[in-house]
Structure 1
Amino acid sequence: MTDLAASLSAFMSRVAGPGELSGLERLSGGANMESWAFDWAEEAYVLRRAPSADYMAGRPYGHAVEAALVKAAHAGGAKAPEVVGVLAEGDGMGTGYVMRRIIAEVSPAKILAAPPPSLVADLGRELARIHALPREVIPEGIPAMDTVEALAELKARFLSYGGDRPAIALAVKWCEDHLPAPAEPVLVHGDYRMGNVMVDAGGLAAVLDWELAHLGDAHEDLAFGCMTVWRFGQLDRPAFGVGSLEAYFAAYEAAGGRPVDRERFRFWLVYRTLWWALGCLQMGQAWRSGTDTTVERVVVGRRTAEQELDLVRLLESEAPEAERARPLPPSPVAPEVPVGEPTNREMVQAVRDWLGEAIKPGAEGHGKFQVVVAMNALGIVMRDLDAGARAEDKRLAEALMRGQTTLAEPGLLARLRRAVLDKCAVDSPKYAALAAARADWGG
């Protein structure tokens, strides 16, 4: 941190004038992209950076283009942060940029516990404002998305990861069969959801994390924040965990957004759930390849189970009524209570308990976050050793992608439901949709 402080002080002297650096602290989360809060000349700022070029590998554009887009959005009236300077190679801090810090709440749990009354309308209006930004202010380097090509790329990634997860294969085939006609492109934020918005007592205060922005279908943005995973347990509030889709769509349209097509919205809800399922698998591949060896990568890699559960819930309506009413097959038999020498599960539990009792209480900031992630990883291992639940079935996945097997096959939906329930119970037992699915399916 000492080297970063010295480099950051030199940078801020150049872009903001004389001052003194204080309060430098890494914000929790963000294993790939770092965020550092600090004060300079009694003003609050945030440094967003990647420590080296390796962290930016595979991204469609770098931080200079991202910063230019954030500047354009801010100048165009969107609630984007104010960029004050972009890092150069000679600054010795990797790539990134510095923004003025916005003081507002970003925690989804805290926001959703008592959202401001205007928030769902704010979210709709702000998205309409982003989509209305004229093409001439969008910087060179922001890519255009071709949905057909993007879906083909998702399918290729799935196959490269083994192509053996039936719920994902089902979604790939459904998306191929339900591709919408091309839409007139707008600026799509690409990550517009709880966790990337800041809220204060007056409503929406800021929109963060523009790194996935592109030109594409407005419905992609409309749907993304309505995914189950980004509603953070508020399953009865389909728009961002805040309110109704009707209120969200009405605010979007009233602010100049194009009329919302419900079928196109549904396509993007399935597509982005599929996208995030593969994004989670990609996290595991990043760890396996050595690109990113943080514990957070492998833990997020196991969150694929959440999206598989959500994909089955989204697509089960495609099955005949008799199949939707079919009882679930039983789960595997639980293992016997161990005797004799400590089992692998018990040894993992001992290490997890030690982290919680001896290490976590003394940890702070990002270090404490990492301890919690490590404890979560060991918890997954313990449950996996108990249950032995697996999600892989390559033969079934291939049959689903070829269309040789569909949800009309007797017993298939019940098998898929059981598989995703058991896997999610291992990998994400507190996931709110798991309890909802058990209640709906009798599992």
Structure 2
Amino acid sequence: MTDLSAALAAFMARISGPGELAGLMRLSGGANMESWAFDWAGSKDSGAYVLRRAPSADYMADRPFGHADEAALVMAAHGAGVMAPEVVGVLGASDGMGTGYVMRRIVAEVSPAKILAAPPPTLLADLGRELARIHALPRAAIPAAIPLMDTATALAELKARFLSYGGDRPAIALAIRWCEDHLPVPAEPVLVHGDYRMGNIMVDANGLAAVLDWELAHRGDGHEDLAFGCMTVWRFGALDRPAFGVGSVEDYFAAYEAAGGGKVDPARFRFWLVYRTLWWALGCLQMGQAWRSGADTTVERVVVGRRTAEQELDLILLLEAEAPDAERGRALPPSRPSRPDPTGEPTNREMVQAVRDWLEGDIKPTAEGHGKFQVVVAMNALGIVMRDLDAAVRAEDGALAEALLSGATTLAEPGLLAKLRRAVLDKCAVDSPKYAALARARNLWGEQKN
């Protein structure tokens, strides 16, 4: 941190004149892209700021555009009246801090749990209005490096990634085939934020205060943005409020259209809801691949890699409507039995439990900031291992996945939907037992225990 403090102070002095840096602190989360809060007291431009950076160019190697273009896009959006942060400076190679940019800090709430506990009355309308503004950004204002997404090509790339990861997850194969069969005709491209969801917005008492994290921006179908914030995972447990966990999709669409957004097509919206759920399922698998390859060896990568189970559960909930009525009403097959209670020497599970208890009792209470976040992630990882050792549940079924991907097998096959339901329930119970949609699925599908 000392080296970063000196380099950041030199950068701020260069862009705003002499001054003093204080309170440098890494914000929670962000295993790859770092965010650092700090204060600057100078001859001008004193105030609170945030540095967003990647420590080296290697972190940006697989991205379609770099931080300079990202900063240019954020500045263009801010200049057009979008509630984007105000960028005050972009890092250069000579600054010695990797790549990134500095923004004025916005004082507002970003925690989804705190926002959704008591959302401001105008928030859903604000979200619809702001998205309409983003989609209205003129093409000439968008940096040339921001790519144009071709949906068919992007879906083919997802399929290729799935096959490279083993191609053996039936729920994912089912979703890929469904998307191939329901691919919409190309839409008139607009600027798509690409990550417009709870967790990437800031809220104060007056409503929406800022839209953050523009690194996935591209030009494409505006329905993609509309759907992303309505995914189950980004509602953070508020399952009765489909739009961002805040309200109804009907009110959200109405606000978007009233602010100048295009007419919402429900079928196109459904396609993107399935597509982005599939995209995130593969994104989670990719996290595990990044750890396995050595590209990112943080514990957070492997934990997020196991969140694929959440998206597989959501994909079955989204796609089960395609099955015949008789299959949707079929009872669940029994779950696999758990392993017997141990009686001899400490088992692997008990040893993992001991380490987890030590982290919780001795390490977590004294950890602070990002270190505390990492301890919690490590505890989550050990919890997954403990449950996995108990249940020995696996999600892979290469033959079934291949049959679903090719269309040789569909949800019309007797017993298939019930089998898929059981598989995603059991896997999610191991990997994400607190995932809100798990309890809902158990209730919908008639599971009486666990």
TM-score when scaled to structure 2? 0.98
| Distance across 2 between alignment mates of 1:333 and 1:254 | 54
| Distance across 2 between alignment mates of 1:333 and 1:128 | 51
Q: Which string of whole-angstrom CA distances, capped at 9 and with x for unpartnered residues, describes residues 134-175 of structure 1? A: 000101100000000000000000000000000000000000
Pick aligned residue for 1:351 from 333, 342, 355? 355
What is the 5 A alignment of 1:87-106?
Answer: 87-106=91-110
- Per the alignment, in what secondary structure is the counterpart of residue 241 of structure 1? coil
State the one-letter code of the partner of 1:356. Answer: E
Q: 2:265: which partner in 1?
A: 261
Q: 1:225: which partner in 2?
A: 229
Residue 335 (structure 1) shift: 1.2
State the one-letter code of the partner of 1:226. Answer: C
Aligned residues: 443
User: 1:243 and 2:260 equivalent?
Assistant: no
- Per the alignment, in what secondary structure is the counterpart of residue 424 of structure 2? helix
Q: In percent, how many aligned pairs have the same letter?
A: 83
User: 1:415 and 2:419 equivalent?
Assistant: yes
Q: 2:40: which partner in 1?
A: 40
What is the 5 A alignment of 1:30-429?
Answer: 30-41=30-41, 42-429=46-433
Q: Once structures 1 and 2 are overlaid, which stretch shifts more, 12-21 or 149-158?
A: 12-21
- Per the alignment, in what secondary structure is the counterpart of residue 47 of structure 1? strand
State the one-letter code of the partner of 2:27. Answer: L
Residue 334 (structure 1) shift: 1.4
State the one-letter code of the partner of 2:8. Answer: L
Q: 1:26: which partner in 2?
A: 26
Residue 54 (structure 1) shift: 1.3
Q: Once structures 1 and 2 are overlaid, which stretch shifts more, 359-368 or 52-61?
A: 52-61
| Distance across 1 between alignment mates of 2:145 and 2:17 | 30
- Per the alignment, in what secondary structure is the counterpart of residue 236 of structure 1? coil
Residue 184 (structure 1) shift: 0.2
Structure 2's unaligned 5+ residue stretches are: none
Residue 52 (structure 1) shift: 0.7
Structure 1's unaligned 5+ residue stretches are: none
Residue 18 (structure 1) shift: 1.7
State the one-letter code of the partner of 1:15. Answer: I
Q: Which string of whole-angstrom CA distances, capped at 9 and with x for unpartnered residues, describes residues 39-71 of structure 1? A: 001400000000011111210000000000000
- Per the alignment, in what secondary structure is the counterpart of residue 20 of structure 1? strand
State the one-letter code of the partner of 2:40. Answer: W
| Distance across 1 between alignment mates of 2:246 and 2:236 | 10
Residue 324 (structure 1) shift: 0.3
| Distance across 1 between alignment mates of 2:17 and 2:105 | 17
State the one-letter code of the partner of 1:7. Answer: A
Q: Which string of whole-angstrom CA distances, capped at 9 and with x for unpartnered residues, describes residues 106-156 of structure 1? A: 000000000000000000000000000000010110000000000000000
State the one-letter code of the partner of 1:209. Answer: D
Residue 396 (structure 1) shift: 0.2
Q: Once structures 1 and 2 are overlaid, which stretch shifts more, 52-61 or 275-284?
A: 52-61
Q: Which string of whole-angstrom CA distances, capped at 9 and with x for unpartnered residues, describes residues 225-268 of structure 1? A: 00000000000000000001111000000000000000000000
Residue 357 (structure 1) shift: 0.4
- Per the alignment, in what secondary structure is the counterpart of residue 59 of structure 2? helix
| Distance across 1 between alignment mates of 2:25 and 2:188 | 43
| Distance across 2 between alignment mates of 1:315 and 1:383 | 28
- Per the alignment, in what secondary structure is the counterpart of residue 300 of structure 1? helix
| Distance across 1 between alignment mates of 2:16 and 2:321 | 57
Moved over 2 A (4+): none
| Distance across 2 between alignment mates of 1:309 and 1:386 | 21
- Per the alignment, in what secondary structure is the counterpart of residue 332 of structure 2? coil
TM-score when scaled to structure 1? 1.00
State the one-letter code of the partner of 1:38. Answer: F
State the one-letter code of the partner of 1:40. Answer: W
State the one-letter code of the partner of 2:37. Answer: A
Residue 210 (structure 1) shift: 0.2
State the one-letter code of the partner of 1:431. Answer: Y
| Distance across 2 between alignment mates of 1:78 and 1:439 | 41
| Distance across 2 between alignment mates of 1:233 and 1:22 | 37
- Per the alignment, in what secondary structure is the counterpart of residue 19 of structure 2? coil
| Distance across 1 between alignment mates of 2:344 and 2:386 | 18
| Distance across 2 between alignment mates of 1:181 and 1:340 | 62
| Distance across 2 between alignment mates of 1:333 and 1:187 | 50
State the one-letter code of the partner of 2:35. Answer: S
| Distance across 1 between alignment mates of 2:67 and 2:99 | 6
Residue 286 (structure 1) shift: 0.3
Residue 13 (structure 1) shift: 0.2
Superposed CA RMSD in Å reads 0.4
| Distance across 1 between alignment mates of 2:16 and 2:76 | 20
| Distance across 2 between alignment mates of 1:16 and 1:253 | 41
| Distance across 1 between alignment mates of 2:183 and 2:438 | 28
State the one-letter code of the partner of 2:302. Answer: V
| Distance across 1 between alignment mates of 2:408 and 2:61 | 38
Residue 26 (structure 1) shift: 0.1
Q: Once structures 1 and 2 are overlaid, which stretch shifts more, 163-172 or 39-48?
A: 39-48
| Distance across 2 between alignment mates of 1:86 and 1:380 | 40
